[in-house]
């Protein structure tokens, strides 16, 4: 998501679940409420491009229309509440427990560096 939308780390960690939606005919729109170049907080909407990993636009639209709602997390602990105001990217403890707090920008940098 970060590469496809050309997001800064600070923009990614600032996203909430309610900032991302599914659109039937276009890529998923993502609402960025604040960024380094928009310090007044005017906000912007970035539309992510469709990926070709599923075979093309038609297949991805079909997948989005038929996919079950995502309302749970693969966590070993109690699942924290997931309201539209909860962070989209949450930190996970070493024991696999999903946190209610957002990731840090440094965490994204470490994972991106490790991925090459």
Domains of the chain, residue spans:
9-115
Cβ-Cβ contacts under 8 Å for 16 (sequence gap 6 or more): 84, 85, 86, 87, 88
The angle at the Cα of 6, spanning 17 to 47, to the nearest 5 degrees, equals 55
pTM: 0.65
pLDDT at 99 over 50: yes
Give the per-residue pLDDT at 78. 59
Give the per-residue pLDDT at 54. 47
Mean pLDDT of the chain: 77
pLDDT at 17 over 60: yes
Give the per-residue pLDDT at 60. 62
Give the per-residue pLDDT at 48. 83
CA proximity to 65, closest of 4, 21, 19, 22: 22
- Name the residue with higher pLDDT: 21 or 64: 21
What does 86-116 look like in DSSP terms, one character per residue?
A: SBSSEEE-TTSPEEEEEPPHHHHHHHHHHH-
């Amino acid at each position: 998501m970060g590469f496809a939308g050309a997001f800064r780390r600070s923009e990614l960690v600032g996203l909430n679940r309610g900032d991302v939606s599914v659109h039937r005919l276009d890529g998923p729109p993502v609402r960025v409420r604040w960024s380094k170049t928009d310090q007044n907080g005017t906000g912007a909407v970035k539309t992510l491009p469709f990926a070709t990993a599923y075979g093309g636009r038609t297949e991805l639209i079909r997948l989005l229309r038929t996919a079950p709602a995502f309302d749970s997390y693969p966590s070993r602990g109690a699942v924290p509440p997931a309201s539209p105001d909860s962070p989209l990217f949450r930190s996970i403890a070493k024991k696999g427990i999903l946190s209610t707090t957002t990731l840090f920008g440094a965490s994204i940098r470490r994972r991106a560096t490790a991925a090459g």
